[in-house]
Amino acid sequence: MGRRKGSNTAQTSTNQFEGTKIRFQDADDDAVATDSSNLDESVLGVDKATEDISMGEPEVSFADSDVGDDKTSADYYFDSYSHFVPVFQEMLKDTVRTKTYQNVIYQNKFLFQNKVVLDVGAGTGILSLFCAKAGAAHVYAVECSHMADMAKQIVETNGLSDVVTVLKGKIEEIELPVAKVDIIISEWMGYFLLFENMLNTVLYARDKWLVNDGVVLPDKASLYLTAIEDADYKDEKIEFWNNVYGFDMSCIKKQAMMEPLVDTVDQNQIVTNSHLLKTMDISKMAPGDASFTASFKLVAQRDDYIHAFVAYFDVSFTKCHKLMGFSTGPKSRATHWKQTVLYLEDVLTICEGEAIVGTMTVAQNKKNPRDVDIMVKYSLNGRRCVVSRAQFYKMR
């Protein structure tokens, strides 16, 4: 395969819907689609056999992989959002993301009419504006970055100041003018679903302000794993360090291997099925549930070589009149989340029908919960390749 464009490592931060046969159409750029999403039924081949998940904090120590690494994404998080124009423009131009939220709100006005809405991490306030147009009684848009100042002006410019109130600050530190809200809406997802996400903030807001029968949007998020052939790009990214202008810099390879790559994967690279690792119910889960260990089984669909695992996620809005959502998978229309590539130390020679089995442990970093530590244990007992290994990854 040729080199992929527009990739970035995890530090540069800013579906299958198990058990259902519903096909989501692409969100339309010019008109509100009947069903908003980028899910394609060609990706409905997710392994439905098991979803083996151990909830809570995994009994795994990432201490050895964190030695000498004092930097976290929190060091740059708020500063990066100060330079907000490119960041928010990219998200707004992600039509899969933005049109899905718009369609969820406009096509389900019965959820919003005369209701009090809390928009967590409001950014430009676009979701709050949608909610106001859908008939919300009042919307509280909370944003901690300097974009809050722009959001206030945007609300005023569009004549919605009587419906939308922008509050600048952290959810954990502000006080709302109301005791309870009927709906919490947020676009909280990060790369790999959980990197630099706002999930804990949404859960905090849910527990503090949401009424007992309130609605969280979106309310479901699922993380998937597949495996790809990626010889050319792995050589360019990882093996590059073996010979740098005639010098051996291979000592850097270990660090490079531990850094997941956020990139767009060509669906033709996919060698195995996709396996559901974890589904989170945002309306019910506890904060600790975002750390977990899940088993997986990836079965080869052809004879090929495996160079990396690829993770992606889907989100769904199950409280709508019709199920709505979108996927960030490689067989769906591209989003700004792309996919997350985890390169393997081994090149796995796999034959059709053979399976890579293992577990993935995902844990919030102890220094900064916005960062993610990942451990993958995998094995292949094939005709031409036998391997068993554990690898650590750090999303910073």
**What is the set of active-site residues?**
187, 196
Number of C-beta neighbours around residue 364 at 10 A: 20
H/E stretch holding 126 reads: helix 126-133
DSSP single-letter state for residue 251: G
CA pair distance 349, 382, nearest whole angstrom: 8
Number of C-beta neighbours around residue 149 at 10 A: 12
Query: Taking a C-beta distance cutoff of 8 angstroms, is the pair 342, 195 a contact?
Result: no
**Angle value at C-alpha 125, between 40 and 118, nearest 5 degrees:** 90
DSSP single-letter state for residue 270: B
CA pair distance 221, 326, nearest whole angstrom: 10
Which class for 325: exposed (0-12), middle (13-18), buried (19 or more C-beta within 10 A)?
A: buried
- Compute CA distances 181 → 117, 125, 178, 212, 215, whole Å: 6, 17, 7, 10, 9
- Compute CA distances 110 → 194, 209, 332, whole Å: 31, 21, 29
Nearest to 119 by CA among 221, 227, 201, 2: 201
β-partners of residue 164 are: 139
Nearest to 269 by CA among 329, 313, 311, 227: 227
Number of C-beta neighbours around residue 69 at 10 A: 14
CA pair distance 25, 37, nearest whole angstrom: 5
CA pair distance 119, 166, nearest whole angstrom: 9
Coil, helix or strand at residue 146: coil
One DSSP character per residue, 34-98 reads SS-----GGG---B-S---EE-SS-S---GGGGTT----THHHHHHHHHSHHHHHHHHHH-HHHH
